[in-house]
Structure 1
Amino acid sequence: MSDWIQETLYDNGTLINKFGIRDAQELAQKEFEITAQRELYLLNQNIVIKDVSAFTKINKFLFMPLYDWAGKYRTGNFYKGNTAFLDCNRFDYAEEDINHVLALQKEKDELAAEDYAQLMDLLNYMHPFREGNGRSTRLFLQCYAANHNQCIVYPLNNDDLIQALTGANVHEIARLIKVEKI
């Protein structure tokens, strides 16, 4: 593990948090409770997604009660299993790509699952935060879908979606998510 990751962990491997919780299961439960409540709040705010800066704001809002690094881009590179995420020195390029896609989609009244899948793939590869990238991505896309009078229904089992994201398979991501009119 690189130093930037070690700096976010207690000696036992639990994420350093504002509650001082050192038990990983207890922290996971607290994180779930806090972020679920904050997700519902944000969904009711009718947030307009104009650009990728909303992604950072969402991560910060979800995780600021728990972590000092909420909403801050990671300062080192990151791997999960065999998956390497975007080099932290290239986040500005990822932001440009995401904003370009958002600008192209802005002209559409209704978006298809492929449109959301493309954004999901880009946000997942960027993976800019220490924790909460998946939750922040799903909430960002749900708010964005609401801007188009749509709702995304994610699969109940994340395994296939994670596999599609790991393989950067936009077609499969699109097959797994459902877009409904609201």
Structure 2
Amino acid sequence: MVGNDYYEYEWDNNYCYPNCFILKNKLNIKDSDLLEEAERQITAIRILEMKMHPIKGNLDFQHLLNIHKHIFKEIYTWAGKTRTVNISKGNQFCNYIFIKEAAGEIFLKLQKENYLMGLTKDKIIIRLAFYLGELNASHPFREGNGRAQRVFIEYLAQTAGYYMSSIFENVPKYLKH
């Protein structure tokens, strides 16, 4: 069943085991449910580590690549590398050929906005949402985009003097989910 909640992939043997859509992984897991559970557990630990010991970087594309690599390095050989296949989820994400160019534009704009420093709480929420949307549209990785993007956005907010929990503390409950 393919719908808006499922990814559609251009077939690529470089990423998947033969005759299926299970991603080749360092754990050699060939069951999608088991891989999903292992990935969930391992990435949760990696993300927690990054909250305690942030990945240093310049809030640029390389920083995002390094975040992704740290989260997924125990699972995928391509952790921290841009995808080499087109993917979609309802709509197609950025063509893989243009990912670096699109990322360059996103991060140049972020730099011109001084990494959102000095913005009010109301304005930073809008700009963080904008950049999260732009990063998501580029979808630079074969898997794990959302997790890497959320960590990056959290680092961006912290650099601007905000913590994600404080940004949303007075937001109505129905908007938090």
* TM superposition score category, shorter chain reference: 0.7 to 0.9
2:66 alignment partner in structure 1? 57
Name the SS of the counterpart of 2:163 in structure 1.
strand
Counting only pairs closer than 5 Å after superposition, residues 70-81 of structure 1 correspond to structure 2 as: 70-80=79-89
**Whole-Å separation in 1 of the counterparts to 2:102 and 2:148:** 16
Q: How many residues align?
A: 155
Runs of 4 or more off by more than 4 Å in structure 1?
175-178
2:30 alignment partner in structure 1? 22
Give CA deviations for 1:116-167 in whole Å, capped at 9, x if unaligned. Answer: 01110110011011100011111110111111221225xxxxxxxxxxxxxx
**Whole-Å separation in 2 of the counterparts to 1:123 and 1:98:** 8
Unmatched runs of 5 consecutive residues or more in structure 1: 154-174
AA matched with 1:61: H
Cα distance change on mapping 1:48 and 1:9 into 2, 3 Å? closer
Alpha-carbon contact 1:9-1:16 (below 8 Å) kept: yes
Unmatched runs of 5 consecutive residues or more in structure 2: 1-8, 166-173
Percent identity among equivalent residues?
30
Q: TM-score with structure 1 length normalisation?
A: 0.76
1:67 aligns with 2:79: no
AA matched with 1:43: K
Q: TM-score with structure 2 length normalisation?
A: 0.78
1:2 aligns with 2:10: yes
1:31 alignment partner in structure 2? 39
